[in-house]
Amino acid sequence: MIRLAGGQLTSQLSGQSAIPIFPESETNFFPKVVDAEIEFGRDERGAVTHLTLRQGGRETKCVRTSDTVLERKETTVSPKLLAQYLGTYELRPGFNLMISLDGEQLMSQATGQQKLPLFAESETKFFLKAVDAQIEFFKNEQGAVTHLMLHQGPANIKGTRQ
């Protein structure tokens, strides 16, 4: 995803953090935090149709699929409802997602990774700002949370509550 925020162009690969990119020319940009280059390609009318990512000796052409980037909107969820989601969810054997509260902030932490805040989009759907990922919680007929679904890039991973 390529975004413009506060006059700064950023690039964000699925599952990674957004990073600022800086111009070398009208079509070539680079991030300062990683050795890579992004070149925007245009059609005969001058419209940007794709970009080429050069990194680690590889060149990847990415076709533009949209003129917009989905901007998620935060909403407020009661601490009582947030407390229902606390616990450990198994994404695969030996790899869990721990959901906790830090004050009134819902947090997620995958095995071996840092703790990241979750932001409510609805009463059951949350998103991360640090990476392009969303978490949706599911309940059974009795109203107990049974599992979550982690949506990250093309993957949809079910996490069963332990």
Domain ranges of the chain: 2-63, 79-161
pLDDT: which is higher, 13 or 103: 103
Burial of 99 (0-12, 13-18, 19+ CB in 10 A): buried
CATH number of 79-161: 2.40.128.50
User: pTM of the full predicted structure?
Assistant: 0.68
The per-residue pLDDT for range 62-90, each reduced to its tens digit, is 999 888 777 788 999 999 999 999 999 99
Short-list 83, 79, 74, CA closest to 145: 83
Segment 100-114 shows an average pLDDT of 95
Q: Which two tokens stand for residue 148?
A: 């979550």
Residue with tokens 């300062």: 32
